[in-house]
Amino acid sequence: MSSLQRSSSQRRHCVGHTVQVTAPAGVVYGLLADAPRWPVLLPSYIHVERVDADSAGDRLRLWRLRHGQVRCVLARRVLHPAQRRIEFEHQDSSAPDASTYGSWNVSPDGAGRCLVTLHQENPDPPGTPDTPGPPGTSEVPDALGVPGASGGSGGSDELGVFEGQVRAELAAVREAAERWDRLDELLLSFEDSLYVGGSPEIVYDFLYRIGDWVDLVPHVERVEVGEDQPGVQRTVLHTSDPGTGDTVVSEGVRLCFPAAGRIVHRQTVTPDPVAAHCGEWYLEPDARGVRVACLHQVMLRESAVEFAPGTGAGVLPVDARRQVREWLGRTSTEVLTLARWHAESALRRLR
């Protein structure tokens, strides 16, 4: 995969910002290169799939939240690990003729610190005055302004949005990277599964119809579901905490892939002590029937963990990892068990 080629016929708005990050340069480059992990580390990402890869780079399909909407972006990347540089091209599925180009650059800045620069070239928005000279460029070293604040590009509100997006992206990367020495205590990943001797289609239908769970799943008290885009569900769940009896409210996005037997989920509003929660329901048919699983990836809030000063070693005074594992495992197993009951009951009725 060679360097990315830009169209020379389209006027573009260029933005560049740099921030200092208290983390080794290799750690930050690794975070940027490992795109499938972004949903549990970076708040705007719902799901990332690597479509293909070679020795030079990869192609990705990204689902992320922008201005409250779920957007799907196709990305091409060229990776330069020796220089800690990543070039990218993003093509929004809703505007395939308007690609965004850019690059991440990571350079050491003393012991345990680095500088991270994000350059981005966006197509000029409709209505931008066709004035002579190159598109507006803003270079603001080590600055994180108010998202949406415009740089040196003039008075366009949409150009100001481009500036805000770059600043917000850098802020999220800095926040994630500066937890690098505590991630072993904050991150956990696990899976619950069972076998179903029934129709995969019935199992998937049960998992897809989350709006019906209020009448079917004991721990679900209330569900609000919207599906403005086919296969993209926005949810608000009110569930009961079996330990305290309290009602827990969470909001999320679900991406539904019926042909693949998968439903990817990510919470956008999480209850304590969870800072981020993503994963998926997936079906694997085999000779015995169908294996149905729920995968969880969780980032705990740092307030749930006490760190010894200067060591990065974590102490869990209330064993938050165990509690979250048991709580989420109990709820997903309950849904899986009911999905199996529905599928196997339908099979018995057909017989």
Domains and CATH numbers, the chain: 12-178 (3.30.530.20), 183-350 (3.30.530.20)
Task: For residue 159, give Cα distances in angstroms to 7, 97, 98, 138, 164.
Answer: 20, 18, 15, 11, 9
Whole-prediction pTM: 0.84
Interstrand relation of 45-53 and 57-66 (parallel, antiparallel or unpaired): antiparallel
Contact 130, 112 (CB under 8 A): no
pLDDT digits (tens, 9 = 90+) for 149-171: 333 444 456 666 778 888 999 99
Pair of tokens at residue 228: 């403005």
Rounded distance between C-alpha atoms, residue 163 and residue 165, angstroms: 5
Q: Is 251 helix (H, G, I), strand (E, B) or coil?
A: strand
pLDDT digits (tens, 9 = 90+) for 282-331: 999 988 889 999 999 999 998 877 654 444 445 454 588 888 999 999 99
Rounded distance between C-alpha atoms, residue 23 and residue 334, angstroms: 41
Pair of tokens at residue 272: 């304590």
Tell me, what's the pLDDT at 163? 83
Q: Is 253 helix (H, G, I), strand (E, B) or coil?
A: strand
Confidence of residue 141 (pLDDT cuts 50, 70, 90): very low
Rounded distance between C-alpha atoms, residue 86 and residue 109, angstroms: 18
Confidence of residue 26 (pLDDT cuts 50, 70, 90): very high
Contacts of 191 (CB under 8 A, 6+ apart): 293, 294, 295, 296
Candidate ranges 202-206, 237-241, 246-250; pick with highest mean pLDDT: 202-206
DSSP state of 240: E
Confidence of residue 350 (pLDDT cuts 50, 70, 90): very low
